[in-house]
Structure 1
């Protein structure tokens, strides 16, 4: 058996429907015996389909296998990358990738000595974003940032250590961080959330262009993602998405990942009549946060489209990855976004 799930049965008070995935095929002797036994004890038994369930981690230490399948090693920079010709920067990227590769689940996250260039780059972004958060970040985020500053060393002149943040998040919601050397597949990334593990890069963008990065870096991870994992409602939502991804089909993974994009990466909620960001792609980008949330449009005349949060619409919406989003989905609250996962999977 690879999966079992229960939910209240529609139209049958006090009864439950059970959905079970197991290795076997209709017509096999053991499967026929199993069906006969179930029919003796259940109101109805139905085979939905015969499909091969993709591999998924069953124990948290099996995430080591997921991390071995990175799509982008984080060291093979494109020729237009700001750090392409900087040998010292490339050496540092190789070092971060090696640390992530050697890490094993449950070990303390190694503490890193960041260079002055790296700290300065972090500081430029942190100072700029802190001003923006006060205006355009959601209440939950702004409640957590001072706690991270006092407990984990978040500051303009200091890059916090992931081990300290991981321990803080674990006390708050049970989530932890895990180093990763590059980009993971949507399946592997979402599978980690099922164990309340967030895969986080440790490298930082090149110091020559502190306000630009062609890939997620530690600024995106620690300024955008990590704070929200201290919020119980947000953490529960991410956990539910992760659980739904275990053993899911490729089509289901695509739907979940797309909804995650429009919520955890670029989600907006409305508080006191104003658009407030809770998605990491906004919380770590002053330009797009202003574009998405500022009422007086200082970002220019271009206007995005705002839609009410609807996972069935969001899961089919196409999106760009190199430009500002033309469409944002606006949630009434972080509590409500947590309630769609099961229905979305059977959609």
Structure 2
């Protein structure tokens, strides 16, 4: 259960943010703008430019929607702090990206386990201006809406290693497109420059079989050769690939189970 409460939406789609929240947003976005500019992929940077997010206040959802609908037909949908898988997949299937309408507190400025407004807007919305990324996310939602609980577990790994923590090759360098990385300065630097994690070429069956933890720096990232691969992936029989991955089973985890993380 979330400790946060999403803010209500007015009849015109606006949220009544307070002065403290505007200041937190300013501090988050100005810090992260410096971190991502040399590390994010060009599609993300182009999307940020299109969104033209304000730094002195939180943006309003209709401002985001005008850009997304113009570029790819998507929009953002305000949701409570936590939603079910059913709701999540159903929204993506309708080209609606869920955005929790709360902002992290100053006490959790650097790390927040659940996705807040900054994560969703700054981390994800820029990529939704890119047609290949948007098409992949739409197909993903439609498949997830019809999938069984076990199939959804495998699909969640695909989402994790693409939409949340994906890297892409650009002019011989690894660049970031995953929103879970791009909304975190620590993860952005780690994914770009640390020698600790593996960076493997994207292989769909390997991705579907790779366990992950949400509360640690990632031990492995998968690198696409280009973002067009996401569109190509959306045109494949992904559920047949999920079936193959389920038959093969999960790969060994590259991390300790959570309860053992601090033992010894």
Decide: shared fold, TM above 0.5: yes
Maintained 8 Å contact 2:41/2:170: yes
Q: Secondary structure of the equivalent of 1:306?
A: strand
Partner of 1:346: 240
Given that 2:164 and 2:178 are in contact with CA atoms closer than 8 Å, whether structure 1 keeps it comes out as yes
**Shift of the alpha carbon at 1:95?**
5.8
Asked if residue 206 in structure 1 is aligned to residue 110 in structure 2, the reply is no
- Give the alignment of 1:227-246 within 5 angstroms: 227-246=126-145
**Aligned partners of 2:102 and 2:117 also within 8 Å:** yes
Query: 2:206 aligned to 313, 336, 341, which one?
Result: 313
1:186–1:257 contact (8 Å) kept in structure 2? no
TM-score with structure 2 setting the length: 0.85
Query: Which residue is equivalent to 2:215?
Result: 322
The alignment partner of 1:340 has SS state of helix
Give the equivalent residue in structure 2 for 1:68: none
Task: Give matches, 1:1-347, under 5 Å.
Answer: 72=1, 74=2, 77=3, 93-94=4-5, 96=7, 99=8, 108-109=12-13, 111-149=14-52, 154-294=53-193, 297=194, 303-341=196-234, 342-347=236-241
Cα deviation for residue 314 of structure 1 reads 0.8
Q: Deviations over 1:9-30 (max 9, x none)?
A: xxxxxxxxxxxxxxxxxxxxxx
Output the aligned Cα RMSD: 1.8
Distance 2:107 2:153 in 1: 35
Deviation at 1:155, TM superposition (A): 2.2
Q: CA deviation at 1:108?
A: 4.7
- CA separation in 2, counterparts of 1:281 and 1:95? 20
Deviation digits for residues 49-103 of structure 1, max 9, x if unmatched? xxxxxxxxxxxxxxxxxxxxxxx4x4xx2xxxxxxxxxxxxxxx5461xx26xx9
> Deviation at 1:187?
3.7
Aligned residues: 240
C-alpha contact (below 8 Å) 2:202/2:224 kept by paired residues: yes
Residues 94 and 190 of structure 1, relative CA distance in 2, 3 Å threshold: closer
User: Against the structure 1 CA distance between its residues 163 and 131, is the aligned structure 2 distance closer, same or farther, given a 3 Å change threshold?
Assistant: same
Greater Rg by CA: 1
Tell whether the 8 Å contact from 2:113 to 2:214 is kept in structure 1 after alignment: no
CA contact (8 A) 2:46 2:126 kept: no
Aligned to 2:37, the other structure's residue is in SS state helix
How far does residue 119 in structure 1 lie from its aligned partner after superposition? 1.0
Distance 1:160 1:95 in 2: 15
**What TM-score, normalized by structure 1, do the two folds share?**
0.66
From the superposition, tell whether residues 290 and 95 of structure 1 become closer, same or farther in structure 2 (CA, over 3 Å): closer
The structure 1 segments of at least 4 consecutive aligned residues displaced by more than 4 Å after TM superposition are none
